[in-house]
Amino acid sequence: MGSPLNHITNTKVSAVNAAGEPWWKGASVYQIYPRSYLDSNGDGVGDLPGITQKLDYIATLGVEAIWLSPFFKSPMADYGYDVSDFCDVDPIFGSLADFDALIEKSHRLGLKVIIDQVYSHSSDQHPWFEESRRSRDNDKADWYVWADPKPDGSPPNNWQSVFAGPAWEWDARRGQYYLHNFLPEQPDLNLHNPDVQDAIMAVPKFWLDRGVDGFRLDALNFGFHNQALTDNPPASKFKRPPTRPHDFQAHINNMSQPEIYPFLENIRALMDEYPGRFSVAEIGGPFPLDEMKAYTGGDNRLNTAYAFDFLYSDKLDAQLVRETLGQWPGGKNDGWPSWAFSNHDAPRAVSRWRGKCPQGDYAKLLCLMMVGMRGNIFIYQGEELGLCQADIAFEELKDPEAIANWPHTLGRDGARTPMPWKNDNQYAGFSESKPWLPVDKRHLNETVTDQDGSASSVLNFYRKALALRQNSEVLKHGDQEFLTADADLLVCKRQAGAHQILMVVNLTEKPIKHEPITGSILLQTDNFDQGVIPAWSGALIAI
């Protein structure tokens, strides 16, 4: 049983003063996976005009910004993360004119627009790579990472790709291997080459000039490699059991090299020429904390880092939340964190964590927690509906990672299925044609139309919660202080000046006793009660 709240052990976590903070600090960001948001032309694939049609809906959620996953020209081997033209829209998504229209309407509605940027690799159909692979002495011969085989013809070292198998692909034209940390269709750019850096720096400038408000920088710590091509050692510790060859190595040589820091500073210097722009780094790996802080520390690198602590966790409990948020105490060089429970690369959170809790109830609990957390928060499309992970039969899979590692990884397709807008056809209002991924039948009962008019729906709970956060300096910028009453009870005090909000959450399946809290309840799950906090319930209380 929990101790009385007035006998709680305090663990102080401070933050900078909220006065004068930029728009992005503490912002709520809505992630859109364009292929699956809305199909406007009946080809079964979502597109930019479809997103533009739904911007009014997004504005009702109470978020400050949208983040678009890749919509650039691509052969779609990795569904847009294999870019063949960094400065154009793939025809399947529309045109640059469609993108400009999306920007214009977003800004008119008060929404900032953040787009993905992929600087560590390109498509093997990019003109740069097509030239690079022709010979060893052309103008772009050193724009990618090429290496001779070992004397026995095997790859230059033991590096493993994320998607299984060696990170090297043989190319007969050059008689060499090229590096690919992901698919063979995604050759790694050689960012050690100043000419490559110059070419890459022209990309963000192109999009900044078109009016984008920021970038999410994909797989950023894969941008530089050890030029001696030294083998990676075996991993000495694991955050979760390995399921791929990649997981067995400590990736100290094929990624996370010190040359990344001047590159980050160049990106920041460019972005500072465009006031009010925002940068968030995706930094993968099982233990990324030190890199996240290094990438965001001080005033000359990136604004924030996108944390994976929750995205791949197989359970959610109070201890994980305390430990994870407590790693960002708000020191001078700590940077600013960003949090997500779900995204296009991870199974949906309600399916990973809810156990026996009713799906809608758990979705509301996660929403309450997220709006109470210090840092930026990222909400993935459909999360505001409480969607579960879709079931995808093997023969309908599109994700190359899921296909390669079946059935030991759930893959990404189950989180990428079409957004359910209305239950008027088998495609949930996403398209009039068969979608690129199937609609899970369970999602037909969780559509936007069905939830829009219901005061008790997950959707309207999100709207209420996000409106509360958007108008609260305490929740957006305030200090956080964890009050440890019971190992299973999460109690966090947020404070800005004289204003305080207490977040009280029970993530377990058992009720937890505590003394009633004096204050005004700002937001609560349907089943929250004072005195004994019911299972899977919580509240935000002004004290």
User: Average of pLDDT values for 223-249?
Assistant: 92
CA 481/CA 5 separation, integer angstroms: 13
What is residue 6's predicted lDDT score, i.e. its pLDDT? Answer: 40
pLDDT 10s digits, 78-97: 999 999 999 999 999 999 99
Q: Band the pLDDT of 164: cuts 50, 70, 90.
A: confident
What is residue 288's predicted lDDT score, i.e. its pLDDT? Answer: 85
Give the pair of three-digit tokens for residue 314: 């197989």
What is the set of active-site residues?
218, 273
What is residue 410's predicted lDDT score, i.e. its pLDDT? Answer: 60
CA 429/CA 423 separation, integer angstroms: 7
- What is the rounded average pLDDT for all residues in the chain? 93
Helical segments of 70-184, H only: 96-108, 127-132
User: Average of pLDDT values for 45-61?
Assistant: 98
What is the CB-side half-sphere exposure of residue 97 using CA atoms within 13 A? 0
User: Facing residues of 490 across strands?
Assistant: 505
User: Average of pLDDT values for 239-265?
Assistant: 92
User: Average of pLDDT values for 225-235?
Assistant: 97
Q: Band the pLDDT of 502: cuts 50, 70, 90.
A: very high
Give the pair of three-digit tokens for residue 259: 């040359």
Least confident of 20-24, 61-65, 186-190: 20-24
Residue 44 has pLDDT above 70, yes or no: yes
User: Facing residues of 147 across strands?
Assistant: 177
Least confident of 339-353, 401-415, 487-501: 401-415
Q: 2 or 487: which carries more pLDDT confidence? A: 487
Cβ–Cβ under 8 Å, residues 351 and 316: no
CA 412/CA 398 separation, integer angstroms: 9
Cβ–Cβ under 8 Å, residues 13 and 479: yes
Residue 2 has pLDDT above 50, yes or no: no
Kindly list the structural domains of the chain, giving each domain's residue range(s) and its CATH number in brackets, ordered by start: 19-123+192-470 (3.20.20.80), 478-542 (2.60.40.1180)
pLDDT 10s digits, 6-31: 433 444 443 333 448 999 999 999 99
User: Average of pLDDT values for 260-281?
Assistant: 97
Q: Band the pLDDT of 405: cuts 50, 70, 90.
A: confident
What is residue 213's predicted lDDT score, i.e. its pLDDT? Answer: 98
Map tokens 């000359």 to a residue.
Answer: 300
CA 93/CA 116 separation, integer angstroms: 15
**Count of CB atoms situated within 10 Å of the CB of 77:** 17
Residue 232 has pLDDT above 90, yes or no: yes
Q: Is the peptide bond before 407 cis (omega within 30 degrees of 0)?
A: yes
Cβ–Cβ under 8 Å, residues 182 and 78: yes
CA 439/CA 419 separation, integer angstroms: 8
**∠ CA(390), CA(35), CA(184), 5° rounding?**
90
What is residue 10's predicted lDDT score, i.e. its pLDDT? Answer: 42
479: helix, strand or coil: strand
